[in-house]
Structure 1
Amino acid sequence: MNRVPFPLLAQRPTVLDGVLLDFHWDLERLHSLVLPERDVETAGLLWHLELPFWSVGGRPFRVSPIDVASEPSAHSEQWERTMSADLRYPLETYEGDGGRLIILDGVHRLLKAMIEGRPVLRARILAVEDFDAIAVTDADGGS
């Protein structure tokens, strides 16, 4: 399969290597998959909150979720997204090296769960061998 490269790959900080996928993928495709689910301990996912996932002023990879939680007024857009996140929906994850769960979609939910002191979250787990099911390809027209 000829996957379309992640559009912001050149701007991605090295700390996100092995966390963000290196190809463009489709959230709707991910949500449409029937995936195994399980409860996961929130504490085991908190390392995500230290990573600069989020944009500031339209510039990607500028702020970490923990920075947003530390100074909500300076990051009001991300703070509002966090506080409106619906924890009824599971996190979308995949198993990285060593079986560590990596969040594809749901970092705002994770931050909200941490703020609320929730010890467990529900997660859907995409197998690495199923990445093609969510990948945007040249045949899709790329983007």
Structure 2
Amino acid sequence: MTRRPFPLAVPPGLQHHILDFHWDLERLHALDLPTTSLQVADLADHLDLPFWAYEGRPFQVTPHQVAAAPAVYQEQYARTLAADLRHPLDVVRRPDGRVTVLDGVHRLLRAELEGRTTVAVRVLPWSELDRIAVPV
């Protein structure tokens, strides 16, 4: 399958953490994937990456910055507090063993803020990425 390229210019520091193609969140959620748990600490590096938008610009703020200054980043902080931890995070395990969060960084931050040590995750195998890819 020829995949549609990722629609935004990704900062160099994020290129190893974001998939390089456009994928569909609804397709991901529709997959019947096994649920397991991972240590919050094993995913915590995601919380130091500027995934989130600020003032309408993508890739401006890290989840940890939001947690440290909730009055400044009110929108993202409110989304974090509203995140429902009954729903697992969706992740993919890369061939090198690293785990990338596809959906659920707000839930991950909430889990950390609540002092949880583990979080439920659904793991998409790397070999199955075409199932969520948007074709060209």
* TM bin (shorter chain): over 0.9
Q: State the match for 1:91 in structure 2.
A: 89
Q: Equivalent residues in 2 for 1:1-143 (5 A)?
A: 1-8=1-8, 10=9, 12-138=10-136
Q: Which segments of structure 1 move beyond 4 Å, counting only runs of 4 or more?
A: none
| 1:38-69 CA-partner distances (Å, limit 9, x unpaired) | 11111111110000000011100000000000
Tell me by how many angstroms 1:97 deviates: 4.3
TM-superposed deviation, 1:85: 0.1
Offset, 1:2: 1.3
Distance 1:98 1:136 in 2: 24
The structural deviation recorded for 1:98 is: 2.8
CA displacement, residues 81-114 of structure 1 (integer Å, 9 cap, x when unaligned): 0000000000000002431221000000000000
Q: Matches of 2:126 and 2:96 in 1, distance apart?
A: 13
Relative to the length of structure 2, the TM-score reads 0.97
* Alignment size in residue pairs: 136
How many angstroms apart in 2 are the aligned matches of 1:30 and 1:104?
Answer: 9
Q: Which runs of 5+ in 1 are unaligned?
A: 139-143
Deviation string, structure 1 residues 2-54 (Cα, Å, up to 9, x no partner): 1111000x2x1111112111111100100111112211111111110000000
Segments of structure 2 that go 5 or more residues without pairing to the other structure are: none
AA in 2 matched with 1:120: T
What's the offset of the Cα at 1:137? 0.8
**Aligned residue identity for 1:98:** D
